[in-house]
Amino acid sequence: MLLIRAIIRPERTNIVLSELLAAGFPAVTKMDVYGRGKQKGIVIGDVQYNEIPKEMLLLVVKDEDKDDVVKVIMRNARTGEKGNFGDGRIFISAVLDAYTISTAKQGL
């Protein structure tokens, strides 16, 4: 199992969630996050914004589904034809185990 963390622009969240659902990946946790990437924030006039609002999507998927999920996120979170700074990042980590609390069932 893998944990996929996608940090994306808030205005792209609904389309990404919709496309993940259509692709067969309905289980997602979403949260508001704030931060900055390699560009070190945004400067507008004399003001520097270091905490840019983003959304973080969390999905736990089978190893063999990783490439499909990443493709859906990349295709739908990217802005413009070639993408733009601030479109986000995807991080993938191993998940050692998972349990459903109500049933005590192990796995996905």
pLDDT score of 17: 98
Count of structural domains, the chain: 1
What domain range includes position 73? 2-106
Q: Is the pTM of this model over 0.95?
A: no
- pLDDT class of 38 with cuts at 50, 70, 90: confident
20: domain CATH number is 3.30.70.120
Q: Which residue has the tokens 């802005």?
A: 79
Q: Residue 45, by phi and psi: left (phi above 0), alpha (psi -120 to 50) or beta?
A: left
Round to whole Å and give the CA distance between 45 and 43: 6
pLDDT score of 55: 98
40-88 residue pLDDT tens: 777 788 887 788 899 999 999 999 999 999 999 999 999 988 888 889 9
